[in-house]
Amino acid sequence: MTWYLPETVWVDGRLASGLAMQAAAPVAVVQSQSTSSSADVVRLPGSVLPGLTDAHVHTALIDLPMLRAGGIAAVWDLGGPPNHLAGQARKNTMAVRYAGPFMIAPGGYPSDRSWVPPGSCREIHSPLDASAAVEEAHAFGASFIKVTAHADGPMLPPHTLAAVVDAAHARELPVVVHAEGPGTVAAAYDSGADLLAHTPWTENVDDGLVRACADRMTWISTLDIHGWGTPTAARTIAIGNLRRFWSYGGKVRYGTDLGNGPLPVAVNAREVRALGEAGMQPSDILTAMTENDGTTGLTWIPSGLDLNPEMFAQSIATARVLGPEAHPSPEA
C-alpha cells in the first residue's frame, strides 16, 4: 500500500505538514520520519485530503468517469433504477453508495416526470408494503432509502412514511427525503427521517422547525440547482434556510443533484461559494465534502489547498482524485 507524502495533509479539520496519508485509511496518518525509509512513500507537491464526495447525484443521468476526472472521488446516488445502480457500484473505481428507487405514493413525484428512467420509482401502497420495499432495497445493496414528499402531487400518508422510516432504521439504513412544498419539511421531520435531499427552497422554513431539524438531521446542500449561477428567489430562500440550519448546529453535506440540469460534471465551485454564503468556513465546507471512514479514497490538490475564504472555491475546484492516473513521481 502506497503512502503519499504531500506538502500538506488536511486532517482533523486543519492543514498539517510532515504527514503521510494512505488511500485505504485516510484517517491513519503517520509522521514522515517513520515512513521515509520505506520504498512505498511517494512525495507529492500540494495537498492531499480524504476523497471528495458529492452526496446527491443520479448516476443514470451522468458520466461517472468524467465526474471522477473532475475531482469527485465518491458519490451518493439518490434515486435511480436498481439494476443500473448495482452495475455502477461494481464497475466503477469510484466509490458509489446508492439509495435505489425513489419510494413514492402511487402516482407521486417523480413518476410523473419525463427525466425519470424506467424502473426508478417504487410505489408504496401501505405500511406493510413499506417494509417490503425497504427489504427489496436492502437486498440489492442500498446504503440509504430515498422517499419523496412533494406537495403538488400524491404524498404518502404520515403513518406510511413513518413505516418506511421504521423499516429502514431496523436495517440501519438512513432515510433521505425529497421535501418540496408547504408542510413537507415538517412531514419529513415528524416521520423520523435522517436527511433532506435538498436544502428547502420553496419557502422560509419556520424557525422552530429549522432548530428541531438542526438537532437531528443532515441537509444535503444542492444550492446551485437554483439558477446555475444566476441569482434567483429560490436560491436566496435556500441559502437563508441553510444559514439558520447551520447556525443552529445542523449537519450539512455537499451535494449537487448532478444529472438534473446544466451542472458541471466536476467539483462545483458555485456550490462551494454558495455554502460560504450560508456562513460556512472553508474547513466546515471540507468537512461537508469528505468522510473520514477510509472508504472514499484520496483527493489531491496539486497546487496546494488554499483555505482563504476568497480563494477556497477556486482552489478546491482544481481537485484530482489521487489514483494511478495522477502519475506521482516516486521519491528518488
Options 13-21, 86-94, 95-103, 256-264: segment touching Zn ion (CB under 5 A): 256-264
Please tell me the number of Cα atoms within 13 Å of 178 on its side-chain side.
Answer: 23
Options 137-145, 165-173, 255-263, 290-298: segment touching Zn ion (CB under 5 A): 255-263
Q: How far is CA 183 from CA 56, 180, 240, 280, in A?
A: 22, 8, 18, 27
As measured in angstroms, the least distance from the Cβ of 56 to Zn ion is 6
* End-to-end Cα separation, the chain, in angstroms: 18
As measured in angstroms, the least distance from the Cβ of 223 to Zn ion is 13
As measured in angstroms, the least distance from the Cβ of 57 to Zn ion is 8
Q: What gap in Å lies between CA 193 and CA 218, rounded to an integer?
A: 10
- Strands (E) in the chain, as ranges, are 3-11, 14-17, 19-22, 25-31, 41-50, 53-57, 74-77, 95-98, 102-104, 121-123, 145-150, 175-180, 195-196, 218-220, 251-253, 298-301, 320-321
Closest to Zn ion by CB, 21 or 121: 121
Closest to Zn ion by CB, 22 or 199: 199
Residue nearest to Zn ion (CB): 257
Which amino acid type is present at position 237? I
Q: Is 77 in the site for Zn ion (CB under 5 A)?
A: no
Contact between 241 and 278 (Cβ < 8 Å): no
Secondary-structure percent of the chain, ordered helix, strand, coil, rounded to 5: 35, 25, 45
Of the residues 257, 271, 291, 306, which one makes contact with Zn ion according to CB under 5 A: 257
The C-alpha angle with vertex 288 and arms to 283 and 290, in degrees rounded to 5, equals 90
Closest to Zn ion by CB, 21 or 274: 274
As measured in angstroms, the least distance from the Cβ of 305 to Zn ion is 28
Total number of residues that touch Zn ion (CB under 5 A): 1
Closest to Zn ion by CB, 257 or 306: 257
Closest to Zn ion by CB, 63 or 207: 63
Options 81-89, 95-103, 134-142, 249-257: segment touching Zn ion (CB under 5 A): 249-257
Q: Which residues contact Zn ion (rule: CB under 5 A)?
A: 257
